[in-house]
A and B are shown apart, each in its own frame.
Chain A
Amino acid sequence: MAATNPELKVVGQQKPDLVLTQHHHMCPGCGEPLALRACLEPIQELGLAQRAIAVAGIGCYTSFSMTTDLDLVQALHGRAPSVATGVKRMRPDTIVYTLQGDGDMVNEGLQEVLHTAARGENVTCVLLNNGVFGETGGHMTATSVLGQRTKNTLAGRDAAYHGFPILIGDLIAGLEGAVYVARGSVHNAGAVARTKKMFRRAFECQMRNEGFTFVEVLTMCPTGWFIPTIEGPKYMHDTLGEVHIMGELKADGVIRTTEELHAENVQKAVEIEQALARGGIEG
Protein backbone atom coordinates (compact mmCIF):
# COMPACT_ATOMS: atom_id res chain seq x y z
CA MET A 1 0.00 0.00 0.00
CA ALA A 2 1.15 3.47 -0.83
CA ALA A 3 -0.04 4.59 2.62
CA THR A 4 2.94 2.88 4.23
CA ASN A 5 5.41 4.94 2.20
CA PRO A 6 6.58 7.71 4.57
CA GLU A 7 7.44 9.95 1.63
CA LEU A 8 3.81 10.28 0.59
CA LYS A 9 1.44 12.67 2.29
CA VAL A 10 -2.30 12.01 2.18
CA VAL A 11 -4.00 15.07 0.70
CA GLY A 12 -7.43 13.57 0.08
CA GLN A 13 -9.08 10.64 1.79
CA GLN A 14 -11.54 8.30 0.14
CA LYS A 15 -14.64 8.87 2.24
CA PRO A 16 -15.34 11.44 4.95
CA ASP A 17 -14.64 10.05 8.44
CA LEU A 18 -18.30 10.52 9.35
CA VAL A 19 -19.53 8.14 6.66
CA LEU A 20 -19.41 4.51 7.76
CA THR A 21 -19.00 2.88 4.36
CA GLN A 22 -18.27 3.82 0.77
CA HIS A 23 -21.31 1.86 -0.39
CA HIS A 24 -24.50 3.83 -0.95
CA HIS A 25 -27.66 3.58 -3.04
CA MET A 26 -27.17 6.68 -5.19
CA CYS A 27 -27.10 6.33 -8.99
CA PRO A 28 -23.83 6.74 -10.92
CA GLY A 29 -22.95 10.41 -11.38
CA CYS A 30 -25.16 11.64 -8.52
CA GLY A 31 -24.17 14.94 -6.92
CA GLU A 32 -25.58 14.24 -3.47
CA PRO A 33 -22.60 12.27 -2.08
CA LEU A 34 -20.43 15.26 -3.07
CA ALA A 35 -22.69 17.60 -1.11
CA LEU A 36 -22.58 15.13 1.79
CA ARG A 37 -18.78 15.28 1.76
CA ALA A 38 -18.84 19.09 1.67
CA CYS A 39 -21.22 19.04 4.67
CA LEU A 40 -19.61 16.36 6.85
CA GLU A 41 -15.95 17.30 6.51
CA PRO A 42 -16.41 20.76 8.12
CA ILE A 43 -18.31 19.09 10.99
CA GLN A 44 -15.33 16.80 11.53
CA GLU A 45 -12.80 19.63 11.18
CA LEU A 46 -14.65 21.88 13.64
CA GLY A 47 -14.75 19.03 16.18
CA LEU A 48 -18.56 18.87 16.22
CA ALA A 49 -18.94 15.15 15.47
CA GLN A 50 -19.94 14.28 19.03
CA ARG A 51 -22.62 16.95 19.35
CA ALA A 52 -24.05 17.26 15.84
CA ILE A 53 -27.59 16.04 15.17
CA ALA A 54 -28.85 15.68 11.62
CA VAL A 55 -32.52 15.79 10.60
CA ALA A 56 -33.17 14.08 7.28
CA GLY A 57 -36.11 14.80 5.02
CA ILE A 58 -37.53 12.50 2.34
CA GLY A 59 -35.53 11.93 -0.82
CA CYS A 60 -32.70 9.83 -2.24
CA TYR A 61 -30.35 11.34 0.39
CA THR A 62 -32.50 9.78 3.16
CA SER A 63 -30.57 6.55 2.65
CA PHE A 64 -27.49 8.39 3.98
CA SER A 65 -29.20 8.15 7.39
CA MET A 66 -28.08 4.50 7.39
CA THR A 67 -24.42 5.31 6.79
CA THR A 68 -23.87 8.73 8.42
CA ASP A 69 -22.01 8.36 11.70
CA LEU A 70 -24.02 11.07 13.51
CA ASP A 71 -27.15 11.12 15.63
CA LEU A 72 -30.00 11.45 13.20
CA VAL A 73 -33.75 12.03 13.21
CA GLN A 74 -35.96 11.14 10.28
CA ALA A 75 -38.66 13.77 9.64
CA LEU A 76 -41.86 13.73 7.61
CA HIS A 77 -41.77 15.09 4.08
CA GLY A 78 -40.84 18.77 4.25
CA ARG A 79 -41.04 18.98 8.06
CA ALA A 80 -37.35 18.71 8.85
CA PRO A 81 -36.90 22.40 9.86
CA SER A 82 -39.69 22.08 12.44
CA VAL A 83 -38.22 18.87 13.84
CA ALA A 84 -34.82 20.57 13.94
CA THR A 85 -36.40 23.46 15.86
CA GLY A 86 -37.66 21.05 18.50
CA VAL A 87 -34.32 19.25 18.76
CA LYS A 88 -32.39 22.51 19.08
CA ARG A 89 -34.74 23.99 21.71
CA MET A 90 -34.47 20.86 23.86
CA ARG A 91 -30.71 20.49 23.33
CA PRO A 92 -29.27 24.00 22.83
CA ASP A 93 -25.73 22.65 23.25
CA THR A 94 -25.94 20.63 20.03
CA ILE A 95 -25.33 21.58 16.40
CA VAL A 96 -28.46 20.78 14.39
CA TYR A 97 -28.71 20.69 10.63
CA THR A 98 -31.36 19.43 8.22
CA LEU A 99 -30.76 17.58 4.97
CA GLN A 100 -33.51 18.26 2.43
CA GLY A 101 -34.05 18.15 -1.31
CA ASP A 102 -35.81 20.72 -3.43
CA GLY A 103 -38.98 18.63 -3.62
CA ASP A 104 -38.91 18.23 0.14
CA MET A 105 -38.07 21.81 1.13
CA VAL A 106 -39.46 24.01 -1.66
CA ASN A 107 -42.49 22.01 -2.79
CA GLU A 108 -43.69 20.12 0.23
CA GLY A 109 -42.35 22.11 3.16
CA LEU A 110 -41.92 25.69 1.98
CA GLN A 111 -43.72 27.20 4.96
CA GLU A 112 -41.69 25.13 7.45
CA VAL A 113 -38.36 26.49 6.30
CA LEU A 114 -39.61 30.06 5.88
CA HIS A 115 -41.15 30.17 9.37
CA THR A 116 -38.05 28.57 10.89
CA ALA A 117 -35.92 31.23 9.20
CA ALA A 118 -38.28 34.03 10.23
CA ARG A 119 -38.16 32.90 13.87
CA GLY A 120 -34.38 32.97 13.64
CA GLU A 121 -34.05 29.44 14.98
CA ASN A 122 -30.42 28.59 15.55
CA VAL A 123 -30.28 25.68 13.08
CA THR A 124 -28.70 25.11 9.67
CA CYS A 125 -30.92 24.01 6.79
CA VAL A 126 -29.26 22.30 3.85
CA LEU A 127 -31.00 22.17 0.48
CA LEU A 128 -29.78 19.70 -2.15
CA ASN A 129 -31.23 21.31 -5.27
CA ASN A 130 -31.33 19.32 -8.51
CA GLY A 131 -34.50 20.76 -10.01
CA VAL A 132 -36.39 17.44 -10.14
CA PHE A 133 -38.03 14.91 -7.85
CA GLY A 134 -35.14 12.50 -8.31
CA GLU A 135 -36.47 9.75 -6.07
CA THR A 136 -39.84 9.41 -7.84
CA GLY A 137 -38.39 9.49 -11.34
CA GLY A 138 -37.55 13.04 -12.42
CA HIS A 139 -40.71 15.16 -12.22
CA MET A 140 -40.73 18.97 -12.16
CA THR A 141 -40.29 20.76 -8.83
CA ALA A 142 -40.76 24.39 -7.85
CA THR A 143 -37.06 25.08 -8.49
CA SER A 144 -36.97 23.61 -12.03
CA VAL A 145 -35.81 26.39 -14.35
CA LEU A 146 -37.79 27.64 -17.34
CA GLY A 147 -37.23 25.43 -20.38
CA GLN A 148 -36.00 22.50 -18.26
CA ARG A 149 -37.06 19.13 -19.62
CA THR A 150 -38.43 16.85 -16.91
CA LYS A 151 -40.69 13.81 -16.92
CA ASN A 152 -43.89 15.88 -16.84
CA THR A 153 -42.59 18.89 -18.77
CA LEU A 154 -41.27 17.08 -21.83
CA ALA A 155 -41.30 20.22 -23.98
CA GLY A 156 -39.55 22.20 -21.22
CA ARG A 157 -41.01 24.14 -18.31
CA ASP A 158 -43.37 26.79 -19.66
CA ALA A 159 -43.96 29.88 -17.54
CA ALA A 160 -47.49 30.38 -18.88
CA TYR A 161 -48.55 26.87 -17.89
CA HIS A 162 -46.22 25.77 -15.06
CA GLY A 163 -45.33 29.10 -13.48
CA PHE A 164 -41.91 30.46 -12.55
CA PRO A 165 -39.17 28.80 -10.46
CA ILE A 166 -38.77 29.79 -6.79
CA LEU A 167 -35.36 31.13 -5.77
CA ILE A 168 -35.55 29.98 -2.17
CA GLY A 169 -32.22 31.54 -1.21
CA ASP A 170 -33.48 35.04 -2.02
CA LEU A 171 -36.69 34.46 -0.05
CA ILE A 172 -34.77 33.39 3.05
CA ALA A 173 -32.07 36.08 2.73
CA GLY A 174 -34.80 38.71 2.96
CA LEU A 175 -35.90 37.49 6.39
CA GLU A 176 -34.46 39.16 9.49
CA GLY A 177 -33.88 35.85 11.31
CA ALA A 178 -31.46 34.48 8.71
CA VAL A 179 -27.81 35.40 9.26
CA TYR A 180 -26.02 33.38 6.63
CA VAL A 181 -27.46 32.27 3.27
CA ALA A 182 -25.27 30.72 0.58
CA ARG A 183 -25.72 28.81 -2.64
CA GLY A 184 -23.04 26.32 -3.60
CA SER A 185 -22.65 23.82 -6.39
CA VAL A 186 -20.79 20.58 -7.12
CA HIS A 187 -20.24 20.89 -10.88
CA ASN A 188 -16.45 20.74 -10.53
CA ALA A 189 -13.76 20.19 -7.90
CA GLY A 190 -13.29 23.90 -7.25
CA ALA A 191 -17.00 24.35 -6.66
CA VAL A 192 -17.02 21.45 -4.15
CA ALA A 193 -14.14 23.07 -2.24
CA ARG A 194 -15.98 26.43 -2.25
CA THR A 195 -19.20 24.79 -1.07
CA LYS A 196 -17.29 23.18 1.77
CA LYS A 197 -16.20 26.64 2.93
CA MET A 198 -19.84 27.77 2.86
CA PHE A 199 -20.83 24.88 5.13
CA ARG A 200 -17.98 25.76 7.43
CA ARG A 201 -19.12 29.39 7.73
CA ALA A 202 -22.72 28.28 8.34
CA PHE A 203 -21.73 25.92 11.16
CA GLU A 204 -19.47 28.58 12.67
CA CYS A 205 -22.44 31.00 12.72
CA GLN A 206 -24.50 28.36 14.48
CA MET A 207 -21.72 27.74 17.03
CA ARG A 208 -21.83 31.47 17.86
CA ASN A 209 -25.65 31.25 18.28
CA GLU A 210 -26.21 33.95 15.69
CA GLY A 211 -29.41 32.64 14.13
CA PHE A 212 -30.75 30.75 11.14
CA THR A 213 -28.24 29.62 8.51
CA PHE A 214 -29.01 28.18 5.11
CA VAL A 215 -26.85 26.43 2.53
CA GLU A 216 -28.20 25.42 -0.85
CA VAL A 217 -26.17 23.05 -3.04
CA LEU A 218 -26.88 22.42 -6.71
CA THR A 219 -26.43 18.68 -7.32
CA MET A 220 -26.40 16.59 -10.48
CA CYS A 221 -29.21 14.11 -11.15
CA PRO A 222 -28.37 12.52 -14.50
CA THR A 223 -30.98 9.80 -13.95
CA GLY A 224 -33.77 12.34 -13.38
CA TRP A 225 -32.60 14.58 -16.20
CA PHE A 226 -32.32 11.63 -18.66
CA ILE A 227 -28.78 12.49 -19.75
CA PRO A 228 -25.47 10.53 -19.71
CA THR A 229 -23.64 10.79 -16.38
CA ILE A 230 -20.59 12.44 -17.92
CA GLU A 231 -22.68 15.37 -19.23
CA GLY A 232 -24.24 16.00 -15.81
CA PRO A 233 -21.92 18.73 -14.44
CA LYS A 234 -21.96 20.78 -17.67
CA TYR A 235 -25.72 20.40 -18.09
CA MET A 236 -26.27 21.55 -14.52
CA HIS A 237 -23.93 24.52 -14.91
CA ASP A 238 -25.64 25.60 -18.16
CA THR A 239 -29.27 25.19 -17.01
CA LEU A 240 -29.78 25.32 -13.23
CA GLY A 241 -26.52 27.15 -12.64
CA GLU A 242 -27.58 29.99 -14.96
CA VAL A 243 -30.62 30.76 -12.80
CA HIS A 244 -29.56 29.58 -9.34
CA ILE A 245 -26.27 31.52 -9.32
CA MET A 246 -23.57 30.26 -6.97
CA GLY A 247 -22.46 32.66 -4.24
CA GLU A 248 -23.14 34.03 -0.76
CA LEU A 249 -26.59 35.66 -0.71
CA LYS A 250 -26.33 36.92 2.84
CA ALA A 251 -23.16 37.13 4.91
CA ASP A 252 -22.02 39.61 7.58
CA GLY A 253 -25.34 41.44 7.30
CA VAL A 254 -24.96 42.18 3.59
CA ILE A 255 -27.68 40.87 1.27
CA ARG A 256 -26.80 40.20 -2.36
CA THR A 257 -29.63 39.01 -4.57
CA THR A 258 -29.22 36.35 -7.23
CA GLU A 259 -29.57 39.12 -9.85
CA GLU A 260 -26.62 40.98 -8.34
CA LEU A 261 -24.54 37.79 -8.29
CA HIS A 262 -25.41 37.28 -11.95
CA ALA A 263 -24.41 40.86 -12.78
CA GLU A 264 -21.08 40.32 -10.97
CA ASN A 265 -20.42 37.15 -12.97
CA VAL A 266 -21.17 38.97 -16.23
CA GLN A 267 -18.85 41.82 -15.18
CA LYS A 268 -16.07 39.33 -14.33
CA ALA A 269 -16.45 37.57 -17.69
CA VAL A 270 -16.17 40.93 -19.49
CA GLU A 271 -13.05 41.81 -17.50
CA ILE A 272 -11.42 38.45 -18.30
CA GLU A 273 -12.22 38.91 -21.97
CA GLN A 274 -10.69 42.40 -21.96
CA ALA A 275 -7.59 41.10 -20.16
CA LEU A 276 -7.20 38.30 -22.70
CA ALA A 277 -7.60 40.81 -25.53
CA ARG A 278 -4.79 42.86 -24.00
CA GLY A 279 -2.54 39.80 -24.17
CA GLY A 280 -3.16 37.66 -21.10
CA ILE A 281 -3.74 38.00 -17.38
CA GLU A 282 -0.70 39.06 -15.38
CA GLY A 283 0.30 37.20 -12.21
Chain B
Amino acid sequence: MSSHVDSQTNDARDARGTVTIATEVCKGCELCIEACPPRVLAMGTDVNHLGYHFPELHDGCTGCAACQLICPDFVFEVFRRPRKTAAATTAGSTT
Protein backbone atom coordinates (compact mmCIF):
# COMPACT_ATOMS: atom_id res chain seq x y z
CA MET B 1 0.00 0.00 0.00
CA SER B 2 1.33 3.39 -0.94
CA SER B 3 0.71 4.87 2.51
CA HIS B 4 3.42 2.65 3.99
CA VAL B 5 5.96 3.79 1.45
CA ASP B 6 5.12 7.36 2.43
CA SER B 7 5.59 6.66 6.11
CA GLN B 8 8.91 4.91 5.56
CA THR B 9 10.33 7.74 3.51
CA ASN B 10 9.42 10.16 6.30
CA ASP B 11 11.68 8.72 9.00
CA ALA B 12 12.01 12.03 10.86
CA ARG B 13 8.42 11.74 12.06
CA ASP B 14 8.69 8.34 13.72
CA ALA B 15 10.21 9.81 16.86
CA ARG B 16 6.91 11.32 18.01
CA GLY B 17 5.25 8.25 19.45
CA THR B 18 4.76 4.51 19.40
CA VAL B 19 2.26 1.83 20.41
CA THR B 20 2.46 -1.64 21.89
CA ILE B 21 0.11 -4.25 20.41
CA ALA B 22 -1.26 -7.09 22.57
CA THR B 23 -1.48 -9.47 19.64
CA GLU B 24 -2.91 -12.42 21.59
CA VAL B 25 -6.23 -10.66 22.39
CA CYS B 26 -6.71 -9.13 18.93
CA LYS B 27 -9.75 -10.35 16.98
CA GLY B 28 -8.60 -8.92 13.66
CA CYS B 29 -11.50 -6.51 13.04
CA GLU B 30 -9.17 -4.04 11.23
CA LEU B 31 -10.91 -0.95 12.66
CA CYS B 32 -7.50 0.45 13.70
CA ILE B 33 -6.20 0.25 10.12
CA GLU B 34 -8.92 2.66 8.95
CA ALA B 35 -8.71 4.84 12.08
CA CYS B 36 -4.93 5.50 11.95
CA PRO B 37 -4.40 9.08 10.63
CA PRO B 38 -0.76 8.59 9.47
CA ARG B 39 -1.72 5.14 8.05
CA VAL B 40 1.16 3.30 9.74
CA LEU B 41 -0.77 0.19 10.85
CA ALA B 42 -1.17 -2.75 8.49
CA MET B 43 -2.51 -6.28 8.98
CA GLY B 44 0.25 -8.87 9.18
CA THR B 45 0.25 -12.40 7.80
CA ASP B 46 0.79 -14.18 11.14
CA VAL B 47 -2.11 -15.44 13.25
CA ASN B 48 -2.49 -15.45 17.04
CA HIS B 49 -3.72 -18.35 19.16
CA LEU B 50 -7.35 -17.35 18.45
CA GLY B 51 -6.66 -17.73 14.73
CA TYR B 52 -6.95 -14.05 13.81
CA HIS B 53 -4.53 -11.85 11.90
CA PHE B 54 -3.31 -8.87 13.91
CA PRO B 55 -1.96 -5.41 12.97
CA GLU B 56 1.71 -4.49 12.73
CA LEU B 57 3.20 -1.04 13.31
CA HIS B 58 5.33 0.62 10.64
CA ASP B 59 7.49 3.77 10.98
CA GLY B 60 5.79 7.13 11.43
CA CYS B 61 3.55 6.73 14.50
CA THR B 62 2.58 10.10 15.98
CA GLY B 63 1.13 8.74 19.25
CA CYS B 64 -2.30 10.25 18.55
CA ALA B 65 -4.10 7.32 20.28
CA ALA B 66 -6.79 7.01 17.59
CA CYS B 67 -6.17 3.23 17.37
CA GLN B 68 -6.47 2.90 21.14
CA LEU B 69 -9.80 4.75 21.18
CA ILE B 70 -11.32 2.70 18.33
CA CYS B 71 -10.03 -0.78 19.37
CA PRO B 72 -12.85 -2.97 20.75
CA ASP B 73 -10.39 -5.51 22.18
CA PHE B 74 -8.23 -3.13 24.23
CA VAL B 75 -5.12 -4.11 22.27
CA PHE B 76 -3.16 -0.83 22.06
CA GLU B 77 -1.13 1.06 24.61
CA VAL B 78 0.06 4.42 23.27
CA PHE B 79 3.24 6.28 24.20
CA ARG B 80 4.27 9.77 23.20
CA ARG B 81 7.73 11.33 23.33
CA PRO B 82 7.96 14.72 25.05
CA ARG B 83 7.72 17.54 22.52
CA LYS B 84 11.26 18.88 22.87
CA THR B 85 12.83 15.52 22.01
CA ALA B 86 10.59 15.16 18.99
CA ALA B 87 11.36 18.73 17.91
CA ALA B 88 15.11 18.11 18.15
CA THR B 89 14.78 15.06 15.90
CA THR B 90 12.63 16.80 13.32
CA ALA B 91 14.64 20.08 13.33
CA GLY B 92 15.45 21.11 9.82
CA SER B 93 12.71 19.05 8.18
CA THR B 94 10.00 21.49 9.25
CA THR B 95 9.96 25.22 9.73
Contacts and interface: CB of A to CB of B under 8 A. Distances in A.
Main secondary structure of the interface of B (DSSP, over half): mixed
Contact of A28 (B18, B35, B66, B72): B72
Nearest to A35: B72
B25 interface: yes
Interface residues of B, number: 35
A222 B31 CA distance: 12
B82 interface: yes
A24 B26 CA distance: 11
Nearest to B34: A230
B75 A230 contact: no
B65 A11 contact: yes
A19 B70 CA distance: 16
B66 A189 contact: yes
B18 A189 contact: no
Interface of A: 1-3, 5, 7-16, 19, 22-24, 26-34, 37, 186, 188-189, 192-193, 222, 229-230, 232-233
B29 A233 contact: no
A29 B72 contact: yes
A214 B25 CA distance: 32
Given A11-B63, A12-B65, A29-B29, A189 B70 contact: yes
B79 A230 contact: no
9 contacts: A1-B20, A7-B85, A8-B80, A14-B75, A26-B72, A34-B72, A188-B70, A189-B67, A229-B31
A10 B77 contact: yes
Contact of A11 (B27, B34, B71, B80): B80
Interface in B32-64: 33-35, 52, 63-64
Contact of B79 (A11, A16, A31, A186): A11
B78 A29 contact: no
Contacts of A233: 31, 34, 70
A270 B61 CA distance: 33
B68 to A, nearest CB: 4
B73 to A, nearest CB: 7
Given A2-B20, A5-B79, A14-B76, 7 more contacts: A3-B77, A14-B68, A23-B25, A189-B69, A193-B69, A230-B34, A233-B34
B22 interface: yes
A7 B79 CA distance: 9
